[in-house]
Amino acid sequence: MWKDKYKIGVELIDGQHRELFGRVSSFLQAVQGEGDWEVKLEQVKSTLQFMQNYVVEHFEAEEAFQRQIGFPEYEKHKQVHDEFKSTVNDYAETFVKEGYTQELVQELGAKLMTWLIMHVAAADQRIGAFVREQGGTQ
Amino acid sequence: MKVEYIQPFYRATKDVFQIMMDLEVNRGDLRLAKDLIPSREANVIIGATGDLSGSILYSFPKDMTLTMVKIMSGMELTEGRFRAVCPGRSG
C-alpha cells in the first residue's frame, strides 16, 4: 500500500506513516483473505487494538511536530485527527456491542485504507510543503 | 442544469483519482439524464441539501471497481470479495 510519493520529508512522520500503512495492509489481508472467519478474528482484534493505540501515538507526535514548526493549519488538522479517532473508537464500541461481524470489519478495513491514503497523500503533504517553504529539512 | 453545479463534483472526482490512484480523469460529453438510475455494479449516492438540493450518483463497473481497490490496497480481489469492498453503509 505504501508508496514513496506519500513521504512528506520529515523522517519521524514518514516512518510512522509507513508503519500505519503496513498495519492497515495486514488488517486488509487478514480481513479479505480466504479462510475461516473465527480463525482470522484473532488477527483482526489484535490489529484493531494496535491501530487504536498507534493512531493516537502517531497523531500526538504529528501534532507536536506541527506545534513545534508553527504549522498554520494545526487546529484544522487536529480536528480531522480527532474525528478519525472517534470513528475508529465508534467501530470498536460497535464490535463490542454487536460482535465482530465480517461485514462490519470489512467496512472498517475499507474506511481505514481510503482515509489513510487520502489523508497522508493530500492533507499531510501540506506539512512537508510548509517545512520546505520555511527553508527547513528534517 | 447549469454546468457550474457539476464542475465542483468533477474537480473533486478528478482530485481523488489523481491523489489516490495516480489516474488522470477526462470528462466525456455531457448529457442530461432524466432519472437517477444506477446502471453499473458499484454505486455511491450522495444526498445534497442547502442552496441546492438533490442527489449525486457515482456509478462504476465491477471490473473498474476491483482495479481501483487493487491500485489502492495492492491486493488482488476476486469477484467473490466484490461485495466486501462496496460496503452498504455510509458514515
What pLDDT shows up at residue A74?
A: 96
Distances (CA, A) of B85 to A97, A110, B61, B71: 23, 6, 13, 13
pTM strictly above 0.90: no
What pLDDT shows up at residue B90?
A: 44
Cβ-based burial of A118 (10 A; exposed 0-12, middle 13-18, buried ≥19): middle
A119 alpha-carbon distance from chain centroid: 8
Q: Chain A interface, mutation test: which of B23, B58, B85, B86, most A Cβ atoms within 10 Å?
A: B85
Q: What are phi and psi of B54, to 5 degrees?
A: 165, -160
Give the three cell numbers for residue A42. Answer: 484473532
With an 8 Å Cβ cutoff, the interface of chain A facing chain B consists of 1, 25, 28-29, 31-32, 87, 102-103, 106-107, 110-111, 113-114, 117-118, 121-122
**Which mean pLDDT values do the consecutive 10-residue runs of chain B (91 residues) have?**
82 91 88 81 88 88 89 76 50 41
Cross-chain Cβ contact A107/B87 below 8 Å: yes
Residue of B nearest to A24 (CA): B73
The helix (run of H) or strand (run of E) holding residue A63 is helix A37-69
DSSP class per residue in B12-64: HHHHHHHHHH------------SS----SSEEEEEEE-SSS-EEEEEEE-HHH
- Specify the residue for cell string 455510509: B90
Alpha carbons B59 and B56: distance in angstroms, whole number: 10
Of A32, A87, A113, the CB nearest to B72: A113
Task: Please answer whether residues A131 and A11 qualify as being in contact, where contact means their C-beta atoms are separated by less than 8 angstroms.
Answer: no
Distances (CA, A) of A102 to A72, B73, B74, B81, B86: 41, 18, 21, 12, 13
What pLDDT shows up at residue A131?
A: 93
Task: Please answer whether residues B66 and B19 qualify as being in contact, where contact means their C-beta atoms are separated by less than 8 angstroms.
Answer: no
In 3D, which of A134, A135, A118, A130 has the Cα closest to residue A17? A118
pLDDT by residue for chain A (138 residues), tens only, comes to 899 999 999 999 999 999 999 989 888 888 877 778 888 888 788 888 888 899 999 999 999 999 999 999 999 999 999 999 999 999 989 999 999 888 888 888 888 999 999 999 999 999 999 999 988 655
Of A107, A113, A118, the CB nearest to B89: A107
**pLDDT per position as a tens digit, A33-58:** 777 888 888 878 888 888 889 999 99
Distances (CA, A) of B6 to A15, A53, A66, B30, B32: 39, 41, 36, 10, 12
